[in-house]
Structure 1
Amino acid sequence: MDLTEMFAERTARMKASEIRELLKLLDQPGIISFAGGIPDPALFPSDAFAKAFAQTMEGDQAGSALQYSVSEGYLPLREWLVGEMAKVGVPCSVDNILITSGSQQALDYLGKLFLSPGDTALVNWPTYMGALGAFNPYEPRYDQLSINGNRSAEDFKDSAKAETGGRVKFAYLSSDFSNPTGETVDRRGRESLLDLVDDLDCAVIEDAAYQALRYDGADIPPILAFEIARKGDIEACRTIYCGSFSKTLSPGLRVGWIVAAKPVISQLVLMKQASDLHSPTLNQIAINAVARACFEDHVSDVRKAYRGRRDAMLAALERYMPKGVEWTRPEGGMFVWLTLPVGVDGADLLALALETQKVAFVPGHAFFADGSGRNTIRLSFSCADEATIEEGMRRLGLALQAAIG
């Protein structure tokens, strides 16, 4: 008997995450890793969470924390999020918010909600590989998102219909300090995107996982805020905002959220009920308590730490990278994106760098829906101190010199 012969055809589109595999390298002695885009555990508000969990398990609240709960999410947490969303220009109510098990679950639900086989998802080249992993089982066609006017809505529609017979269902992007490039969509780009999706009559999925981690420059309101300013009310908007506490408070508790018009939230609630009923109540209560107690102060400390590491990486790249290597200069987030000289393959470079220099990173091709971008790599600076970054960039420079010849 071979049950694999009975797997649904969609499972063929499920692939192991290269980042998940690379994280295993963190346990190998001597490896300097810039691979995982993960927060530094030394910066977690551990004491605040210890207090929050202890208080939650005292008295009558313990029963509620350990019991089944509503699918929409813990009401006090959604109420706190209403206030936070208002601060960034997104007035909404608790009925516009669904708590998810991390923003990754949000992406999976949205792929399920919108994509029929052959429909088109517009994504950046490169884009977050976790989004591709979430959308792939729903059998979409991918097209390269362009918001600079190079392609018209009619061109996108015609391509979608001609190639697979489907239609464009959404544009997905990380608007602030994106994973993997660290780049941010400016105000003009956000307005242009809204023009495009209005012409396409499709949704926007705004991945805001890194929005709170700005180190330089002025804050830019979310795309959803721009659309509300245009249309007057969130109920008239096509943008769906995905937020997360993973990069600010704790990734292990798996608490994220979706903000959207009520009909979208209502349908997503049905998916939540069918999937896992609700995100863990105990985790939501703890996140709510810690967020209310120290969110702004804690995130300020995180920004200060990551800003120093970003600056150290950019300075070290200037010192050690060979001629012909280019890189982004992010205003926030966790990543720097390198474009290597033509002919240098990121995957081959990783093998060489691990063998000869014991330094790790993520080859860039995994972030491209079409598998291109072989001469790119992603570096994360979030989990290394300045001295480790300096030594790691020196080692990477030596590996690159050897690869270039």
Structure 2
Amino acid sequence: MDWQNVLAARNGRMKASEIRELLKLLDQPDILSFAGGIPDPALFPTETFRDAMTEALSGPASGAALQYSVSEGYLPLRDWIAGRMAQIGIPCTAQDVLITSGSQQALDYLGKLMLDPGDTALVTWPAYMGALGAFNAYQPRYDRLDPKGNRTSADIAEAAQADGGRVKFAYLSADFANPTGETLDRAGREALLDLAEELDIAVIEDAAYQALRYDGEPVPPILALELARKGDLQECRTIYSGSFSKVLSPGLRVGWVVAARPVIQQLVLMKQAADLHSPTLNQIATNHVARAIFDDHVARLRTTYAARRDAMLSALARYMPEGVRFTKPEGGMFVWLTLPPGMDAAELLAQSLKTERVAFVPGRAFFADGSNGNTLRLSFSCANAAQIEEGMKRLGRLLSSVGARSEAPVAG
């Protein structure tokens, strides 16, 4: 059978994740990998999760952990999330919270909810490649989101209309963004809200790394700033997507959305159609662990990851050749490198794996138009100081070698 005859046209826009493929390299013990943006498994609260699972599966109520449940999610966990949101300036109730199978499912649902083919999604340049992958299935047109830029809302809307659609939402990770590690300041967040009001569009705030701040002053979430303007969550256009993946466990796939109830209600319908509900046992265990250790555990993560970030920034400063620029994140898991013009990070990766045995993520996949091939992402979350030192030394050696070859005079 020729399956192309029955597949929907939108499947042509779905591509394999470069990160998923690079994660396979972790099985090769001689590779120094700075590729996967994943938490260090040595820091997982394994014992606390074991206790939580045992408790959930013990006693007369144990059947509930293995049973079907409501699509909105486990109520005690949604209550805990509502309390946590209030602490960061977003008072809400459990009725304003939907549990998803990781924040990735939330991005997929939100793309499905809002995008018709040809509609415009405003995204940062670069943007999280998982978001682009989620939105691609719904056949959008992408335009560059730059809250502090010179383009007017009218220019953006006209460009969207010229392509036969309209602008539906702006998507960004405002804190320690994947892939750049950069944080949008308060003025930029306020400008984004102004732009969204002018365009009458939604704002999707991807807050996967929000808890992992190591230094600098915290910036209120975009939804908190909008709530301060409007005073009522039900009047807000910002949709907050959170996750336990980076702070407790990615494998349990527990994330959440906080938004105005008309949005939550539509997402619940999608949840019912897609998978009925996120795994009940995982939600119960996550609730137990969050209530028992969340603050202490996050404090431990911050201390550990901050030291690794500092080690990477120090090593980059020592080993990177002239012409290489890199970000200096205040949190998260990533440092973003911009190489001299003409260098291609994908070609560099292929060479690095052969000669230096260092892995990273080429930057082109993070750009909706496939541009900026002279960029790459490094993750410091799963490497110790010695591995970071050696890895950056090897990478610097490779970049110096490639740069020297490109500058060599041509014989003739």
Shared fold, TM over 0.5: yes
Structure 2 match to 1:185? 184
1:278 aligns with 2:277: yes
**Residue-by-residue CA offset, 1:152-210 (whole Å, 9 max, x unaligned):** 10000000011x21000000000000000000000000000000000000000000000
> Residues of 1 paired with 2:220 and 2:246: CA distance?
19
- The structural deviation recorded for 1:93 is 1.1
Structure 1 match to 2:35? 35
Name the aligned partner's letter for residue 215 of structure 2.
Answer: D
Structure 2 match to 1:75? 75
> Residues of 2 paired with 1:363 and 1:54: CA distance?
42
SS of 2:137's equivalent in the other structure is: helix
Structure 2 match to 1:209? 208
Name the aligned partner's letter for residue 386 of structure 1.
Answer: A
Name the aligned partner's letter for residue 270 of structure 1.
Answer: L
Structure 1 match to 2:236? 237
SS of 1:329's equivalent in the other structure is: coil
- Extract unaligned runs of 5+ from structure 1: none
Name the aligned partner's letter for residue 317 of structure 2.
Answer: E
Structure 1 match to 2:331? 332
Distance 1:136 1:230, change over 3 A: same
Summarize the alignment of residues 366-381 of structure 1 with structure 2, pairs less than 5 Å apart: 366-381=365-380
SS of 2:251's equivalent in the other structure is: coil
Structure 1 match to 2:407? none
Summarize the alignment of residues 239-278 of structure 1 with structure 2, pairs less than 5 Å apart: 239-278=238-277
> Residues of 2 paired with 1:60 and 1:128: CA distance?
44
Structure 1 match to 2:55? 55
SS of 2:211's equivalent in the other structure is: coil
> Residues of 2 paired with 1:171 and 1:22: CA distance?
29
1:293 aligns with 2:280: no
> Residues of 2 paired with 1:147 and 1:92: CA distance?
27
**Residue-by-residue CA offset, 1:77-124 (whole Å, 9 max, x unaligned):** 000011000000001111110000000000000000000000000000
> Residues of 2 paired with 1:60 and 1:309: CA distance?
45
- The structural deviation recorded for 1:403 is 1.3
Structure 2 match to 1:138? 138
Name the aligned partner's letter for residue 291 of structure 1.
Answer: A
> Residues of 1 paired with 2:396 and 2:191: CA distance?
38
> Residues of 2 paired with 1:118 and 1:5: CA distance?
23
**Higher mean C-alpha displacement, 149-158 vs 131-140:** 149-158
- The structural deviation recorded for 1:220 is 1.1
> Residues of 2 paired with 1:280 and 1:178: CA distance?
28
**Residue-by-residue CA offset, 1:117-164 (whole Å, 9 max, x unaligned):** 0000000010000000000010000000010141110000000011x2
Structure 1 match to 2:99? 99
Structure 2 match to 1:197? 196
**Residue-by-residue CA offset, 1:331-384 (whole Å, 9 max, x unaligned):** 000000000011110001101111110000000000000000100000000000
SS of 2:253's equivalent in the other structure is: coil
Structure 1 match to 2:409? none
Name the aligned partner's letter for residue 124 of structure 1.
Answer: T
SS of 1:170's equivalent in the other structure is: strand
SS of 1:243's equivalent in the other structure is: strand
> Residues of 2 paired with 1:397 and 1:245: CA distance?
34
> Residues of 1 paired with 2:96 and 2:29: CA distance?
47
Structure 2 match to 1:23? 23
Distance 1:29 1:277, change over 3 A: same
- The structural deviation recorded for 1:29 is 2.8
- The structural deviation recorded for 1:4 is 2.9
Give the total of aligned pairs: 404
Name the aligned partner's letter for residue 283 of structure 1.
Answer: N
> Residues of 1 paired with 2:60 and 2:399: CA distance?
60
SS of 1:396's equivalent in the other structure is: helix
Structure 1 match to 2:387? 388
- Extract unaligned runs of 5+ from structure 2: 405-412
Summarize the alignment of residues 113-128 of structure 1 with structure 2, pairs less than 5 Å apart: 113-128=113-128
SS of 1:138's equivalent in the other structure is: coil
Name the aligned partner's letter for residue 370 of structure 1.
Answer: D
Moved over 3 A (4+): none
> Residues of 2 paired with 1:19 and 1:272: CA distance?
26
- The structural deviation recorded for 1:60 is 1.9
> Residues of 1 paired with 2:61 and 2:403: CA distance?
61
> Residues of 1 paired with 2:64 and 2:4: CA distance?
41
Structure 1 match to 2:410? none
- The structural deviation recorded for 1:402 is 1.5
SS of 2:343's equivalent in the other structure is: coil
> Residues of 2 paired with 1:92 and 1:120: CA distance?
30
> Residues of 2 paired with 1:4 and 1:12: CA distance?
10
Structure 1 match to 2:7? 7
SS of 2:16's equivalent in the other structure is: coil
What RMSD over aligned residues (CA atoms) do the two structures have, in Å? 0.6
Name the aligned partner's letter for residue 211 of structure 1.
Answer: Q
Name the aligned partner's letter for residue 355 of structure 1.
Answer: K
